[in-house]
Each structure stands twice: as C-alpha cells, then as structure tokens.
A and B are shown apart, each in its own frame.
Chain A
C-alpha cells in the first residue's frame, strides 16, 4: 500500500500498467495470468505537461512523433525513431537544434507533450473555430413534477453554455418533436412519428436539410450565422446567446406528452426515433463539428426502434435473469438498433450523453453501446429532482476548475515497439479498424486496429489497452535489440474552444526474461491496476461470452497467480505467503467477486450497464474504489482514519464514511445517532460533537465535488434501513452464524456470503495444491 500511497501514481503520463516490466515471450506473458495492459488517461491535465504551439515531427514510416526517447544526431540533423529505427531528417525549421538547444519534446522529462495544431489535419482547411453543438433530447412522458425538475435543469444548463455554443432542442413522447428555434413567428416543431425507424437521409430530407435541396427551405431561413454556410441547419441550431429566451419560453410551455396513456400501460415513448432524429440533425452540421446529443430520459422506450419493453404494464422490464434465459424479446433488437445508431454517430464524430432518471429501468443497458462508443457521459438517477442528476448535469456545463473539459472528435493512435501487439481497448472509444503489423490476432474490446475514435472525451476519460507479444521466438536474437520497449499514445482532439490539439505520450518499459528473473517481474506488478483490469476484463467477458462464469474464472485466475508468484511449500497452506507486490490483490479479488460488477443479480441490467460504463472510463484510483470501497472512521478520540472494510469496523460511537464511488455513505453509530437526535450538537458545550458530526460531511462534500457523476450521498444510522448501503460493502466477518463473538456495539450482517478470512483460507489451500 505504501507504493500505492504515492500521490500521483500516474505521473505526467497518466499511464498505469499491470506489469511495469514485461516478460520476453508470449508464453511467459501468459504464465503471468494477469494480462499485459495499460490504463491511460489520454488528455488528463497535468501541470507539468508542456504545450507546444506547433505540430510534431512524425516518423516517415511509422508516423510516430518525435519524442524524448528518440536518438538524435545533432550534426547530421537526424533523429532515429525508437519504434521502427527509421532515420528521419529534421526539417529546416529545426535547423537550430543542438545538444544545448533542444525542442521541448526532446526533453527527457517531457514524455508527454501537448501540441496545439494550427489546423485540424483531419478536417481540412475549414474554419477551425467550430462552435460546439448541443442538442438536447428531452423526454416528455413524465409527470409534471419531474418535467418541472428537468426543465429547470435545462434552463440552468442553457444559461451556462458558452455564447457561441449552438443549441438544438428535440422533445419526444409518442412522437419526436424537433423544435425549429430559428422561426420567430411562433413555436414551430417538426414531428416525427415514434413507431417507425428513420434513416439519417430521411431525417435530413424531412427537415429540409438534405443536400439535394429538394426541400430547400430558404423561405424559413432567418439571418443565418455564418458558421454553417449552405446549411439550413441553422434553423434548428442557434447560438445559445440567441436562443436562450426562445428556449426558455418554449420550455415554459412544454407540456407532458399529450398522447393519452391507457390505464395499466406505460406511456408511449419513442426514445429511439428521437435519438435518430437528433443524430440526423447534427449530422447536417459540417463534418468535424463537435456535437453532443444530450438525452434526458425518464422511462423505457416503448415505441418504435429501440423499444425495450411493451406498453403493457403487466410485463416487467427485462432483468438479468431474463437476459440470461433469453427471455427479453426486445433486447437484442434494441441493442442492434443502438449499435447502428452508435456507428452513425461515430461516423459523424458526435457524442451521445445519457441522463436517465427513473425509478424503473429506461434501457441504459441497450443504449450503453451508443454511449460508450461515442465516449458520452452517462448519469443514472432515480429522479430528475435528485442531486445525482441535478448536480451532475450542471457540472457538464460548468466552466472553470470543475469543468469536465469536454472535448470532441478525439482520435487515438498507439504506436508500439515491434514485438508488441495490440489486442484492443476497453473504454469509451470505437475501433477505426486501422490494421497494421502491431495488431494482435486475439481481440479484447475494441480491437483489430491501432487507431480509435473518441467522439467525446474529457479530462478524466480513461482507456485500458491490452497487449500481447509477438509469438515469434525472438530469443534467437537475445540482447541484440533494445532492452526497452516503447509505447506511444497520440491523441488528437478538439478542445472545448474548438482548437485542434495533439497529445503525445511516449513511455518505455523494460523487457525482462522472466525465465531468468521473476523477481523483477514481481516488482513491476501493479496490483491496483491489475485488479481494475481484471474487473474490466471480467465485465467484458460477462457481456460478450455466453455462459461465462465470472466468479469461477476470477477464482481460477487468482489461484493460478498465487500458485505462480506465491511462496509456499506444496500442499502446505500454512506455508503460503505472498510478496507485498501481490499482497492486496486477493482482497481486491474478494471484493470484486462480491461487487456489482460480478454479482449482477442484485441490480437491474440498466444499473449494471451504468456501473460498467463508469468502471471502464474512470481512472484506476476511482475504479479501485468501485471495487473495493474506502472506509474512514470518525470518533472522538482519534483523527479520521481508514478503517477495515469489515463489519467489525462498525461501532456505536463512531461515524463511518464509506466511499464506494457511486454512493457516499455516512453511517452514524447507534450512540452517535441518539446524541444527534437529542440535539447535543446544537448545544454550545458539545461543540466537539458538532464537529465530529460535521467532519464526515465535509469530507463527503470534497469527494462529491470532484466526482462525475455526482455520487449519491446516503446519511444513515446504525440499524436504519439505509444502513444497507454500508453493510452490503463490508466484509461479513460477523454474521448471524457467529454472532456470539461479536463485540458490543458492533453489528452483524445477515448473509451467507463467505468472509474474507474464509476466502483467503481457501485460496491458500488451493494455491499450494500440487
């Protein structure tokens, strides 16, 4: 843990790997059990990253950018690419280069460099200052109250948008309504029927935006801003500064869907069509325009493409059990629809953000693919009035330090040393199917490529790349080659201001012949990253592989790992010890097995999808918290201190603060709760108590403030009903089975789950089996 305690384990590069030392061969690698993987945050901000106002030099064969690991021949004005060993001449403007006069990217400490590109190389010479586009897609099948919440959230959001941001508005219920904001005479909406799939061409055609111009609606065009020449789309998309008033009054008049809902049926809701239409609308923007479709959904889609459940209320929304048994008649069709939808968005380079608020499911599981492939944001809450939604939504549009730094049109390229193969990436991106010698045969996540599209990305976006090694036996040429391997991540994107940026991160790791020295290998193990990678991999497999038994697979992996790296005598469990580099890993696995990622049956498919999306896009630290929450204990006699994630940490005179990422639980021990109920904190002589009460709240606010989506804050008391949020995460060391030995003021968990102790015992026994 000491190692982990490092404040910034990711350093300037934002890269963390399961193994920081790589075995030489594929066979060796597979013996390591935990795959070779790198988790990296492509555009994480870091104070030390230099920003360069020019484009990088690229290797003429492999296109790698000039970097700190390149060897430079100053006299010949040549640099050698560390990936392909190509010798490249410096161009004339590098003529002044010398050992004492290095460009920034050659400084050894600047392994990560940010370039501001004068022109977006992808999208030509058009106006680089494209305003970002926000199209709000609002569900209107809600009760007035909910609609009121979401409307006020929307108004607030629109007020926060930069003036030049283009705004569009689509509302939907039984049908999808595209509001023509640029029509001043009266409110005008285009209505699309909800039960019919509609192609992008049709949308454009019907909105009068098709390039063929049959419906050239010049008549309607009002002083179109110049940003979108030749495009009628400005009828629908207006700068926030111009349409704020219109939108506000429009929202004021907006009513819940007028189509009647029969008794005992669900409202008719055409989420799929509404999204298609919105996608079509932004599709009419110039290529390269960054656009977000922000869907605010209050219930399941019951109409048209993307339907997830019938209107009949007697039929519940599919559960994991239904999915397992293939008893969800709409699921596959809906997923297919969203898959195609995702493809469309990706090809346009636009993002889908999903804000789902409902007590029941809304179909996040089906829409996941579209959100994830476009790099969209997702927030799931119970109500639009809930702070989880309200605060998160506000965060999206806020400026300043809290800003998410929403960027668009990201493209990631990975360039790696010759023997390294890329299997794929888990995370919010889409494979661009760019083949190359570094593409592995096996695929994990978005694979078959060395380049990925990230339509939307932000400062916290994190991807996990999986690597394989070339199967060719290279031991034939030992030592001749560089003992180092190199990886370079090139991420080009548009920043919120519309500027084209390129982030280049180059890292190097050491090859090690594990057959010779497994010690080095062990030292290079990052157990936290490994746990997260395993969690991500497990989630992926659970989704992709039919009948995948996650618990079993995790157990076996753990046992194999322990067998390989543990110190023990065969068949003597008591002799088993683990290197500190691995010491925490079994506990991570224990918690992972019990987590929402593996034990999906406690959650709805929507929740599972939501958790997994966040697991995949958060950085290692946060993801680790999801797997193994942190617990802090507050009491009178000591400073706040981390507590064991164990039921034994509960005490009547303590306050516990649990951070499980999605929720933050403040748990008052019985005594504390009683005191508080009696109002002691309000009495001047009990200032200390008031402080004690306040301390965890302050801490919780700190956590909440930095996190997106905003976690749910649960304040509860021991034995209260909400206490389950805490108990579910604790190691059940004390259950009703062994309630006898529990300490006073402690608690028991009513479960048959095994406790960590039992788990470890079994692990030891199995690991040492011959």
Chain B
C-alpha cells in the first residue's frame, strides 16, 4: 500500500489497503442469520473523516435524511427503518449501525486487523464486502461471494453508492455542504458523514437478503464516505495534512468511488484489493482526499475502530475520524435489515461481532490542520505526531475530541468528559523533540489573571501590544521585550519561530520564582527486605543483583546520590562513605518510633561509593543467609529511609517480600480472617481492598510533602496486603510492581528490567501539576498517583513517562458552539540533572452543540480507560456486583443515547452502536471479567489491579483488560511487513487449537499456551522441550538456533518495547492451573461460574438498551 501511494499523502494509500472491508462487511448474511434481533452495528470510523470536512458534516444530516429515504428505497425493507432513525435521531448520526458485518471477516479480519481495512477504505467498500465474506465461515463464504458478486453485479449497491456519492456530492456541492459548514465547522463533516452513513445503513438492508444487503451497505458507506470526503477535504482536518488537498480531494472522491467499486471486486483480498484500488485513485485525483475518504470507508468496513487507527498509521489521522461516522452508517443498515427481533440472539455469529483489528501501520498525525483541531488516532495505535499547535495526544487527550457546549448535552450523551494527561509520555522516536524555551530571568509569559502560560491560542491584538488569554479571556499587556508586530493574518510575525506560539507542548526553564529551594539532586534509596522469606525465596538476591546491575544506569554526575538499607524486624542502614574500609552497618532497632541513624553518610554521591555499594550488594544475600527472622518491619523501614532522605527528597525503591508484620504500620493477614468468616467475607470483601488503617496514608502524605517517591517491588509468595501497602506509592507518585508468586528462576530478569526502566525512563522530581481550562469548563477532580493538598494542584514527588492522570471535567457555564475550548496542563518539575522546568501542554478543541458530533469524536480508548479508572476507584468502597453493574450502565448509557437520538434505524430489534464506540461492549465485557472485577481471585491480585489501573496510561490500559493473543507456532510461516508481531486473534477459545501455541500478553504478564497435541518439532524449536509433558513450571525464554525461536524472541522483544515492560512469561497447558489462568483471559468465552460470553453480553446490552428506550 504504502509503496504505491508514497508520493501522495501517505494516508491515502494506506487507507485503501488497510481497508479490509471484509471485516466490516459483516457478512451481512451471517449477521442476519445469527442476529436476528441484534444487529450490531459498529459505526465505522470512516464517517469521521468525512465529517470533519466541516461543511459536509452538518449538511449531511439534512442531506442524509433526504438521501436516506432514497437509500431506503433502494434498500428494501430498511427504508422503513431508516426513516425512523431519521426521525428520532435526526439526521445527525445516521444510523451507523455498526454493521459488524466485518465480523465475519473478523476471523479473517483480525489478520486484516480492522486496521488494514481502514487503510484500504476505498477498496474496503467493495473489497471489504467480498473479503469479509470469504473469510467468514462457510456461510460467509457464501455470503461473500454473493456479496462480492452482489456488489459487483448488484446494481443496487453500486447504484446506491453512486447514489450516495452523488448525493453527497450534490449535497456537498450544493446546500448541504454549506450548511454543514455553517453548523459544524469542524464537526460538520462528521455529521454529514453520518448522515451519509445512515442512508447507507438502510440501503444495506434493502439489498434484500441480509447477506447481500449488508455487503452492499458496506459498499455504500464507503461510497458515501468517499463522497463526503471530497467535500470535506476542504474543511477536513484529516485530510488535514492535506488541507490544501481538500479541494483536490473532491475529485478524488468521486474517483474513489469508482475505485471503491473496483476494489470491491478486489475485495477478496482485503489488503490487496484496496491497494490496487488505491493506486489508481491516488494517482488520478489528489489522492489525498480520495484516500482519506476511502480510508474511512475501509475503516468502517473494518468495523474495528481500533484497527483503523493502527492500520492506517500512515493516514491515521484522516482515518480514525472518519471511521466513526461511517461505521455508523454502515452498521445501521445491517442492523436494520436484520430486523428480526431479539429472538434469534443466540444465533449471532460470533465471527461477525465487533472486534479490534490491529494494524501494524504507522500513522502520521498533525495535531491541527487548517486551524482546526484534528481528531487524534486511537491511543493504542502506532502513530507519529507532528505538533502543529495542539499538544500531541500522547501528553493529553480528551474522551471526546469535541467539547459539548452544555452540560445537558454531555449528560444526554451518556459519555464522560475527562482528560487523560500523561505529561512526560514517551514520544515516538521519529517525532520532533519538545522544545525548551528560556525566557531568562523574567520567566515565561503568563496570563496575569489565571496564570495560564503563553500558548499558541493566546490571541495577540492591538498590534501585538496586548494579548487575550484563551483560558480566562483576560486581556494582558504584552511584556515589552516580548512584543512583536502582527502579520496580515493576525498572527504574530514571529509565531512560527517561537515554539511557545506554535507548539502545543513546550518546556520552559523555570526561574527562581518557581523554586522554594535549589532543585533537588537525583536521590535513589534502595530498601531491601532481608527477612527469612525474602532470603530463602531468592528475592533478596534478585533485588541486590538488579540494583547492582542498575547502578551503571543511574544518571551520571555529582548530583546523583544513592543510599541503601535492608530490613527484617529491624532496619539496617549502611554508611557508604569512602573513607571507611568497608561499609558500616547501622541498625535501627526501634521500629515503633524510627529515626535515621546518620545525618549525612547514609546517602552519598554515587561517584563516592560505587565500590562500597557493589561490595555491599554482593555480600548482603550471604550476610543474611542464615537469618531466621520472619518478621518484616516494612512501615518502619520505609519511614526510617524517608527520614534519611527527608532533606533532599528522592526516590525510595523498596523490595518487599512478606506481609509487614511488626513496627509502624504493621498489617495483619486480613485475607485469612476474611476467609474464615465467609458470610461476612462476601459482603464486606471490598473492605479488604481498603487500607487497613490510616497510618500508612499519613506517612505517605508526609513523604510527599518532602518529595519522596516510593516504588514498591513486591517479590512475594504470599498475601502482602497490597491494598494497604499501595497507599504509599500511590500518594507519592510511585508504583507497585508485583511478582507473584515470586520465583527465583524467571523473575530476577523481570525485576532487573523493571528496575532499570524505573530508573532510566524519562522522569522528573518534586513536581506540581495543574490543569487549567477555558471558561465554562473546570476541573472536577484528578485521579492517579499523586498527593493532593489543595484542590487545584497535585503534588508529584516523582512523575515518569508511564504515569497518566485522569482529570475529570465539568461545565460551569455554556460554551459557544463553534468556539474552541482549551485545556492547559502545566507541570513544574526538576529533571534528573537538576534543572527546574515547566512543561506546558495545551490542547484546544472545538465546541459543539451537536450530539452526533460527540459520538463521532468519541475517543474509545480514552473513554474506556476512564471507565477502568472509575472502576478501580470504586472497587474498594463498593461490592463488586455493584461495580460491574455500574460499568455496564456506563456502557449502556452511552449507547442508549446514541440509539435514541442518533441512530436512524430504529427497529427495536437492532443493536446499533456508534462506530467510534463499537468496541465499547467488548471492552466493557473484558473489564467486567478482569482480575479487578471478578469475584474469584486473590485479594492481592485485585488490589494490584486497582493500583496498576490508577496510574496506567491509555495505551497500556486497553491491553491490560483486553490482552493481545497471537499464535506463535507458525511464526516462521508468515511473512509480514513491518511489525514482527503476528495478527491478533480474538480472545475466544474457538481460536485456540490443540495443535497451536499461543502467546497472550497484557503488558504485565505473558502466557504461552501450549496445545495438547502440538508438533513436538515445534516444541523443540521454540522451547527446547520434546513434549507437552516436559513443560517446566518455571520458564525462562531462551533463544535457540532456529528461525522459529528467533522469531519468537523477536516478537516478545517487540512486545516488551511496546509495553515498556519485561513481561512475566509463563507456560500454560491444558488441564491444570496454568491452563485455567490462560483461559480466564479469553474474555469472549462464557465462564462456567457465570461470566457471559461476548454474544450473550451483546444480547444483554441490547436488552438493556431496549429497556431504557422504552
């Protein structure tokens, strides 16, 4: 794909290829058959792209309505449906019924990964249909062909498309566009698209046989999309990059259309076809635009939103947005057609339901285009950002990329409004580094009223003598030495030379005003458990080994200080001063009222103690070899270490192996108590997830005050009461690492890697963070690992690139439609090299009063991550049943509104999902089945889950509950471009065969499942064993000299780098505990103990929506 398109906007090309419509094209047939009642429509992302072209977006609605009718007509039954939807919802979101048609392809689709589809939009339509079909099971196959054939032959579809296109065009050309533009600036397009989609939806149904119909619809949508896209192009941001292109786009669009058709023929190959299609298109028209649309379509096709993101990478931008709307459209049709009432729910074809379709493509993304905010690619996809005014979505992204003007609108949507801020997130290596701006002694320019930092959205007026704050609206005098005349476009002439005026993210050098003291040195204090258990399990040795290796990675320079202490029932400090012949061990035995044994020499500059430190680390395990002390004074040890660090602050890294049993903050084995009292245990079990008492919390608050951040490495084989322990890392901006059950064979490597990453990752100390919002919106609360003393700011003794903070927002006023709402996150921190900096991240998003715009710009990954964080927040105070219900409700609420107000298809028998959120049910199901919300499972596992989620970033949040599974027994047989990671499999046991070996990873753990009848040859190559019986309980990945093994290592290393985590590898086989563990991750399966299968869950959701609708 890429190859062909290269010249043009990369995006374009990708789209076509990626589009595997197949997925999308749900096998209509299948769907029909299976879902009689449920039509799961996944809005295709496509729409978005379209929509963006503002003009269209809005217009679309209207046109859509109109068009729809026509559509409907063509479409047989659907029409009826459509109208309703139209009526109810309105034009805004056409019905995207998520046709999950893609589902069929699903099986196959995965491979395509919805993403590919997205890429290959154009083709998607056509191709998608076909492709999808074939892949799908037999029926599918049938369907496909049919669909394919249909598509081709079928006049209807084509006509439809043309129709659509024409209509779109016309609309775009005519009134619609204009109107659209008016109404929706940026959003408009979306709606438009939606409308387009909607029509599409209906059409599908019409096609007659479900199967066929569906396929067609796909085509339609794509068509539509394409059509729209052209118009959009002008306004579209996605095209963005191609703002200029927009115009060109139009033409392409049309062309695209045609192409799309051809692709359809091509469809069989998801990717291939699109490509072929793409090229042509690309060539003729300004590809960019056409592609854009196409991509969308493809995405739509690919139903899988996520996919689009990933797949499209190149065009990512364009792609993602489009998807939503379009998908919508496409979907509806399917649904509508289905028509059949719920009755058939059980018949839903699992192959066709929405699933994420990953893509290995990298997308280029400009944060703003044409002075419009650009909808970001999915957080879980691979993309490269160019900061053109808004910050990179890595640093800050909103659950909805358009801000509802009123609180009512937000409430109606059932969605959440929140920001996920990850201020030090790792950029893509190809991205431009954040620029550092030094304002000298005067410090950065700020609004004198709200103290917001200068940013690209501050408007300079009066010849540049004054500027208006985009956050509070106050007009300030420009500082004299910062004055600059304005150009004809009203911008400062130097805007492009000054990063703070043209970049969404900059760093300012902080002046003395921002310091209450000199920037602190980088202090690392290691605290190691040497109690009997820790020694005997090898945890101490592992910790010492890890530290010893990691010393070399500590920042160089005189400002790096280290200290070390060990503890059992007493605390042992070490004086590492160079003058001593050997370290001096200082024991603090009073664990009820601790103190530090030395003022200065416990923490010394690394350069002065390297030798002593190494010697000591080497001898600690042997020194305590015969330690018979089983008690652990964790709380006291942490407190004492804190006292030693109090004057500087710094990072305290604690290696703990058993339940803290003595001294300050001693804990009891509550878990056991809970077990012994079952009746109470059931009801009150969540109490075990709350800290046992307030001691540790009070300590943590004190730590935070003195800028001490605590990370805890739990290398344990027993219950350690993470619920209580985790309070310390959470309040101090730290992290909990959990190695359970700790094993001396495989775990030290992970421990070392975790520690190394902990120390080497980008991070800052003694940080303070505040998010400011434009007038009308205010911050409601912050969630994450930090300490909060005043409502507006959060204190972060340490912050690193992996920590995300959720910021919930609320309206305190109306926003103006068409205006922009800005969010600014300012993080004041000290670098590891002792520089005080302010990282300012600004995001300006359009405001909308249009509900369908909200759905179109909904950010699935972000929203879902918010769900998770809310769930994590609730679990300790609410019975699990209620939390699960709550999560269900969150999911249902968002879908209900959509169904009610945006879907054009209104048959009560259809499940209609907004394209952007079509995976929400799946993720919600995964969440409900996750370790955190499951009833079974250990208390500590759940506590860890909560702790992990509280600070997790979006890209890691999703896989944490919805892991990635790939087959690895046939790694060498596949030839992929780009990523070494093979295509993902749905998390369903149907996709796990006894002959296969599968790798499943969630960013923390990786399970390798070995089927019971795997070819011993493969076993030998991969794992160095001859039969399943030889599977070791403890596993260390080795690289053998064969391609398969090398591939596997390559795959795992790739995953590790993606996840910034060294994965705990574990081998699983059927029939024992490990197998159970593996299957517990297959969230689509029905769990004997009561968990619903994915299909059942969809039915359930559908039922609930219906209940709410009525």
Which residues of A does B touch, CB under 8 Å? 174-175, 177, 180, 183, 185-193, 196, 198, 202, 205-208, 214-220, 249, 253, 255, 258-260
Contact of B589 among A183, A190, A249 (CB under 8 A): A190
Surface stretch bound by A, among B580-588, B651-659, B978-986: B580-588
Q: Is B597 an interface residue (CB 8 A)?
A: yes
What 1/0 mask marks residues of chain B from 152 to 195 whose CB sits below 8 Å from any chain A CB? Answer: 00000000000000000000000000000000000000000000
> Among the interface residues B532, B586, B624, which one has the most CB atoms of the partner chain A within 10 A?
B586
**Contact between B590 and A253 (Cβ–Cβ < 8 Å)?**
no
**Contact between B595 and A216 (Cβ–Cβ < 8 Å)?**
no
Surface stretch bound by A, among B65-73, B82-90, B598-606: B598-606
| A207–chain B nearest beta-carbon distance, Å | 6
**Contact between A191 and B593 (Cβ–Cβ < 8 Å)?**
no
**Contact between B587 and A188 (Cβ–Cβ < 8 Å)?**
yes
A175-B597, A196-B593 known; A218 and B628 CB under 8 Å? yes
**Contact between A202 and B585 (Cβ–Cβ < 8 Å)?**
no
Q: Is B607 an interface residue (CB 8 A)?
A: no
Which of chain B's residues have a CB closer than 8 A to the CB of A260? 599-600
Q: Is B631 an interface residue (CB 8 A)?
A: yes
**Contact between A186 and B569 (Cβ–Cβ < 8 Å)?**
no
| A147–chain B nearest beta-carbon distance, Å | 15
Which of chain B's residues have a CB closer than 8 A to the CB of A218? 626, 628
Which of chain A's residues have a CB closer than 8 A to the CB of B616? 186
10 CB < 8 A contacts A-B: A185-B619, A187-B584, A188-B572, A188-B584, A191-B586, A191-B588, A198-B590, A208-B589, A219-B626, A249-B581
Q: Is B433 an interface residue (CB 8 A)?
A: no
What 1/0 mask marks residues of chain B from 605 to 629 whose CB sits below 8 Å from any chain A CB? Answer: 0000000000010010011111111
Which of chain B's residues have a CB closer than 8 A to the CB of A217? 628-629
**Contact between A258 and B585 (Cβ–Cβ < 8 Å)?**
no
**Contact between A177 and B586 (Cβ–Cβ < 8 Å)?**
yes
Alpha-carbon gap, A96 to B624, bound state (A):
65
| Count of chain B residues with a beta carbon within 8 Å of a chain A beta carbon | 35
Which of chain A's residues have a CB closer than 8 A to the CB of B623? 185-186
Which of chain B's residues have a CB closer than 8 A to the CB of A190? 570, 586-589
Which of chain A's residues have a CB closer than 8 A to the CB of B628? 216-219
Contact of A192 among B584, B589, B627 (CB under 8 A): B589
**Contact between B629 and A189 (Cβ–Cβ < 8 Å)?**
no
Contact of A189 among B579, B585, B600 (CB under 8 A): B585
Which of chain A's residues have a CB closer than 8 A to the CB of B600? 258, 260
Closest to B592 in A: A202
What 1/0 mask marks residues of chain B from 561 to 584 whose CB sits below 8 Å from any chain A CB? Answer: 000000001101100000111111
**Contact between A258 and B590 (Cβ–Cβ < 8 Å)?**
no
Alpha-carbon gap, A131 to B597, bound state (A):
32
A215-B569, A218-B628 known; A258 and B601 CB under 8 Å? yes
**Contact between B619 and A186 (Cβ–Cβ < 8 Å)?**
yes
Alpha-carbon gap, A220 to B629, bound state (A):
10
Alpha-carbon gap, A175 to B572, bound state (A):
15
Alpha-carbon gap, A174 to B599, bound state (A):
10
**Contact between B599 and A253 (Cβ–Cβ < 8 Å)?**
no
A191-B597, A218-B626 known; A186 and B582 CB under 8 Å? yes
Which of chain A's residues have a CB closer than 8 A to the CB of B627? 219-220
| B889–chain A nearest beta-carbon distance, Å | 51
**Contact between B619 and A189 (Cβ–Cβ < 8 Å)?**
no
Which of chain A's residues have a CB closer than 8 A to the CB of B626? 218-220
Which of chain B's residues have a CB closer than 8 A to the CB of A198? 590
Which of chain B's residues have a CB closer than 8 A to the CB of A208? 570, 589
**Contact between A258 and B598 (Cβ–Cβ < 8 Å)?**
yes
Alpha-carbon gap, A217 to B589, bound state (A):
12
Which of chain A's residues have a CB closer than 8 A to the CB of B569? 214-215
**Contact between B590 and A192 (Cβ–Cβ < 8 Å)?**
yes
| B813–chain A nearest beta-carbon distance, Å | 55
Alpha-carbon gap, A190 to B569, bound state (A):
13
Contact of A187 among B585, B588, B624 (CB under 8 A): B585
A214-B631, A217-B628, A218-B628 known; A188 and B585 CB under 8 Å? yes
Alpha-carbon gap, A190 to B624, bound state (A):
16
Alpha-carbon gap, A208 to B570, bound state (A):
9
What 1/0 mask marks residues of chain B from 965 to 976 whose CB sits below 8 Å from any chain A CB? Answer: 000000000000
**Contact between B587 and A187 (Cβ–Cβ < 8 Å)?**
no
Alpha-carbon gap, A215 to B567, bound state (A):
13
The B400-452 residues at the A interface (CB cut-off 8 A) are none
Contact of B570 among A185, A202, A206, A216 (CB under 8 A): A206
Which of chain A's residues have a CB closer than 8 A to the CB of B579? 253, 255
| A190–chain B nearest beta-carbon distance, Å | 4
Alpha-carbon gap, A174 to B588, bound state (A):
14
Alpha-carbon gap, A191 to B597, bound state (A):
6
Closest to A206 in B: B589
| B586–chain A nearest beta-carbon distance, Å | 5
| A700–chain B nearest beta-carbon distance, Å | 43
**Contact between B589 and A253 (Cβ–Cβ < 8 Å)?**
no
**Contact between B589 and A207 (Cβ–Cβ < 8 Å)?**
yes
**Contact between B590 and A202 (Cβ–Cβ < 8 Å)?**
yes
| A353–chain B nearest beta-carbon distance, Å | 26
**Contact between A191 and B587 (Cβ–Cβ < 8 Å)?**
yes
Alpha-carbon gap, A191 to B573, bound state (A):
10
A175-B597, A214-B631, A219-B626 known; A189 and B587 CB under 8 Å? yes
Alpha-carbon gap, A175 to B589, bound state (A):
12
**Contact between A258 and B599 (Cβ–Cβ < 8 Å)?**
yes
Which of chain A's residues have a CB closer than 8 A to the CB of B585? 183, 186-189
Which of chain B's residues have a CB closer than 8 A to the CB of A202? 590
Which of chain A's residues have a CB closer than 8 A to the CB of B583? 186-187
What 1/0 mask marks residues of chain B from 273 to 308 whose CB sits below 8 Å from any chain A CB? Answer: 000000000000000000000000000000000000
Known A186-B584, A217-B629, A260-B600; 17 more pairs at CB < 8 Å: A186-B582, A187-B584, A190-B588, A191-B586, A191-B589, A191-B595, A191-B597, A192-B589, A205-B589, A206-B589, A215-B629, A218-B626, A219-B532, A219-B627, A220-B627, A258-B598, A258-B599
**Contact between B629 and A187 (Cβ–Cβ < 8 Å)?**
no
Which of chain B's residues have a CB closer than 8 A to the CB of A186? 582-585, 616, 619, 623
Alpha-carbon gap, A196 to B580, bound state (A):
29
Which of chain B's residues have a CB closer than 8 A to the CB of A177? 586, 597
| B364–chain A nearest beta-carbon distance, Å | 58
**Contact between B580 and A253 (Cβ–Cβ < 8 Å)?**
yes
Closest to A187 in B: B584
Which of chain A's residues have a CB closer than 8 A to the CB of B587? 180, 188-191
**Contact between A253 and B595 (Cβ–Cβ < 8 Å)?**
no
Which of chain B's residues have a CB closer than 8 A to the CB of A206? 570, 589-590
Which of chain A's residues have a CB closer than 8 A to the CB of B582? 186-187
Closest to B601 in A: A258
| B659–chain A nearest beta-carbon distance, Å | 16
**Contact between A175 and B595 (Cβ–Cβ < 8 Å)?**
yes
Which of chain A's residues have a CB closer than 8 A to the CB of B599? 174, 258-260
| B668–chain A nearest beta-carbon distance, Å | 16
| B14–chain A nearest beta-carbon distance, Å | 62
Which of chain A's residues have a CB closer than 8 A to the CB of B593? 193, 196
| B605–chain A nearest beta-carbon distance, Å | 16
**Contact between B570 and A253 (Cβ–Cβ < 8 Å)?**
no
Alpha-carbon gap, A255 to B593, bound state (A):
26
Alpha-carbon gap, A259 to B597, bound state (A):
9
The B323-347 residues at the A interface (CB cut-off 8 A) are none
Which of chain B's residues have a CB closer than 8 A to the CB of A220? 626-627
Closest to B593 in A: A196
Which of chain A's residues have a CB closer than 8 A to the CB of B625? 219
The B974-1008 residues at the A interface (CB cut-off 8 A) are none
Which of chain A's residues have a CB closer than 8 A to the CB of B622? 185
| A52–chain B nearest beta-carbon distance, Å | 48
Which of chain B's residues have a CB closer than 8 A to the CB of A187? 580, 582-585
Which of chain A's residues have a CB closer than 8 A to the CB of B597? 175, 177, 189, 191
| A302–chain B nearest beta-carbon distance, Å | 16
Which of chain B's residues have a CB closer than 8 A to the CB of A216? 628-629
**Contact between B590 and A189 (Cβ–Cβ < 8 Å)?**
no
| B581–chain A nearest beta-carbon distance, Å | 7
